[in-house]
Amino acid sequence: MSVRITPFLLLLTAALGGCKTVGKDYAGPPAAPQAAQSAGFARGGELAGGQALARWWPALGDATLDGLVDAALQANPNLAVARARLRQARAALGLEHANGRPNGTATAMAAHVRLPPLGDALGGAGGGEEGGAEGDGFAVPSSLNLYSVGFDATWEIDLFGGRRRAVEASDAAAQAAEAQLADTQLSLTAEVASAYINLRSVQQRILLSDAAIARQQRMLELTGARVERGTASQLDLTRLQGQLESTRAEAEPLQAQLDAYRDELATLAGLAPGALDAQLSQAAPVPLPPAQVAVGDPAALLKRRPDIRAAERQLAARSAQVGQAEAARFPRLTLLGLIGIGGTHPSDLTHLDDFSAIAAPQLSWNFLDFGRNKARVEQAEGVRDEAEAQYRVAVLGALRDAEGALSRFRQRRATVATIARAKAAADRAAGLMAARQKAGTASLIDLLDTERQQIAAEQNLAQAQALLTGEFVALHKALGLGWEAGPTAEARP
């Protein structure tokens, strides 16, 4: 048995064996600042180096908050947008894979052709030897039928890796879309938690404001009675009236804020405004963070922040596109093939041994482009440099966010402890004044004023606790937590 080596096969073998990929291979992102390479973030006693939790919100111990976060992760429309973009990116990757494979097309045709008489075609209209087709021993039919079935295929050999670079760029873009989906989840969990904390804080402020107004109203009534008896001045009455109106003015916007936070939570969960009013109508305390918060290694967590991962994958995609532009400067080899059968009768399609076949390689090289491809390469390099700068911006911004969040959380802890001591002192003062009033050595007005001060101290503490929990949320967002274990996380195929 012998094998015949044709020039076509030799050319194909040489082409496949000589394929190379032009452009620089992606070597990873630029080196992060030294601060990001070491766990140099300051820590206090309230921050521990244990394993940080992706689902951090259950640490607040609030089942309502857990349910709201899970509902938002299932139905938030922004997540639906991010998922749709991820599907688009994955489909684009599949398209690039398919573009590197042969392209085949099957065709079938049935045609009826009408031809003019031969005499007309030759310009002889009067008859004679040149005008009579039959006199020469042959006849051209005035019409005929044509039938054909065929298959053609084309395949561009990736001589210089342009297709491979396109696949590489699309793969990195799909991974960037995954990171952007994770970043949307991260931001969503933080937004839901922040809105919920603000809701509970406003509810507490409304309750405490109502209590303060009730005591001030009672003090005003008692002082008015004393003015009538001549044991208090009109100045005392006016001062208390001013305090009461000031407290009312501070309390009036709270209901509007309460409605706004309920509507925000509803829309974050993919519901219409007002859908959660009944569920969130009952006041509840602000959830407090645990005594110690595990942050793990902040530098390692920052590398997994979705926005940094997205910026790094975008840089990888732009780097691959430089190689793709470089490949366009070199020759292209396309293999063409065609096979078909046909004739003037349908039965001709059954003559499988009577076929036409064409196989041809086509080499093309746009060498005279007056610098167009060079300009495209320079443009791709500029886009890559921009992506590298954007990556540096993302890393530095993440470092700043993490440092600031850690510092603010630690400071809020200290502030809450100070205000809690002030609240305890106000409680003791109220207890002592109640004892004095019961013994007859202090008036009811004195007791009410002390209780008003106690309520004010409680308001300060509640506000400080809400700010502390808000910083707890901001800390986990800055560290890039809140997405790995989310119910909407999707695995890559």
> What pLDDT is attached to residue 47?
58
**Tokens coding 303:** 């590398």
- pLDDT higher for 138 or 254? 254
Among the ranges 71-85, 282-296, 361-375, which has the highest mean pLDDT value? 71-85
Q: Coil, strand, or helix at residue 21?
A: coil
d(CA 287, CA 370) in angstroms, rounded, equals 68
- pLDDT higher for 87 or 143? 87
Which pLDDT band holds residue 193 (cuts at 50, 70, 90)? very high
**Tokens coding 291:** 């005594």
**pLDDT, tens digit, for every residue of 213-225?**
888 888 888 888 8
d(CA 389, CA 383) in angstroms, rounded, equals 10
Helix axes 254-268, 63-75, angle to 10 degrees: 50
CB of 443 closer than 8 Å to CB of 437: yes
**Tokens coding 389:** 């700068």
Among the ranges 126-135, 141-150, 165-174, 476-485, which has the highest mean pLDDT value? 165-174
d(CA 466, CA 283) in angstroms, rounded, equals 14
Question: Please, what sign has the CA dihedral across residues 34, 36, 39, 42?
Answer: positive
Q: Is the pLDDT of residue 149 over 90?
A: no
What kind and span of H or E run contains 152?
A: strand 143-157
- Please compute Rg for the chain using Cα positions: 40
**pLDDT, tens digit, for every residue of 243-262?**
888 888 888 898 999 999 99
The one-letter code for the residue type at 289 is P
Domain 28-112+143-193+254-478 has CATH 3.10.20.30: no
| Range scoring the smallest mean pLDDT among 238-242, 280-284, 367-371, 488-492 | 488-492
Q: Coil, strand, or helix at residue 196?
A: helix
Q: Is the pLDDT of residue 42 over 80?
A: no
Sheet holding 332-343, edge to edge: 103-114, 143-157, 332-343, 356-364
| Range scoring the smallest mean pLDDT among 29-33, 87-91, 333-337 | 29-33
> What pLDDT is attached to residue 386?
94
Q: Is the pLDDT of residue 37 over 70?
A: no
> What pLDDT is attached to residue 32?
66
**pLDDT, tens digit, for every residue of 277-322?**
999 999 999 999 988 777 767 667 667 789 999 999 999 999 999 9
> What pLDDT is attached to residue 133?
46
CB of 355 closer than 8 Å to CB of 203: no
Q: If 0-12 CB within 10 Å is exposed, 13-18 middle and 19+ buried, where does residue 164 land?
A: buried
Interior angle at CA 346, CA 345 and CA 352, nearest 5: 105
Question: For the chain, what is the mean pLDDT?
Answer: 82
> What pLDDT is attached to residue 277?
92
Place of tokens 């309460």: 258
CB of 96 closer than 8 Å to CB of 167: yes
Q: Is the pLDDT of residue 33 over 90?
A: no
CB of 320 closer than 8 Å to CB of 169: yes
Place of tokens 């879309």: 177
